Amino acid sequence: MFVMVEDEYIARIPPELLGDDYSRSVTQVTKDSLEGRLLDVQSEEIEGKNIGKCLVISIVDVDLVGEGAIVHGDGGVYQSVKFKALGFYPEMHEIIEGVVVSVQNFGAFVRFSSFDGLLHISQIMDDRIDVDLANMRFIGKDTKRDIKVGDKVRVKIVALNLSSSSIRDSKIGLTMKQMGLGKLEWLREKKKVET
């Protein structure tokens, strides 16, 4: 789900940007530093309680707080800012749509937003599955349905570990074995049959 995040940050403005419009330089450094990064999301009810992490998609607003500080031996200026950002906040049991980006012996990786989640082979369908790595796909033995790189799928998040500030270190487990989930093409076919 998408959320608006408000927080504070200390931006380091390098010396080469100090000759430009200061406010614009601070905004640009803040965007460059935070967009695409995982940030803690704080609870609105309990002050200081971290309820998870979100991926900063876009910085919407940056306000300078006080004056910048110069540290001895560093030519940059350290400026405190308050910012608002649009973030993507994956939650347990959330249903999302993504694209299969990789097929391995053990499962497929599905990309949604900037995250890659693992769709384990046991969570693809209720059918015995053959792995065809030469063609980067899984094939159901009885149903003949296949999943391959580039397919759009609807999946549910069943495991979530965003413990670091790096997207690459995040671990997300997915399933497609419940009603309303699966390859979008299968879901459209099922809907046609029902109507």
pTM: 0.74
Q: How far apart are CA 88 and CA 3, in angstroms?
A: 6
The answer to whether the CB of 109 falls within 8 A of the CB of 121 is no
Using the structure block, give the residue that is written with the tokens 């002050």: 47
Question: Per residue in 150-180, pLDDT tens?
Answer: 999 999 999 988 866 567 777 899 999 988 8
Residue written as tokens 């004056």?
67
The structural domains of the chain, with segments of one domain joined by +, span 2-88, 95-194
Would you call 40 helix, strand, or coil by DSSP?
A: strand
Supply the CATH classification number for the domain 2-88.
3.30.1490.120
Q: Please write down the HEC assignment for all residues of 46-103.
A: CCCCEEEEEEEEEEEEEEEEEEEEECCCCCCEEEEEEEEEEEECCCCCCEEEEEEEEE
Q: Does domain 95-194 have CATH number 2.40.50.140?
A: yes
Residue 17, Cα to own-chain centre: how many angstroms? Answer: 31
Q: Write the pLDDT tens digit of every residue in 58-108.
A: 999 999 999 989 888 888 899 999 999 998 888 899 999 999 999 999 999
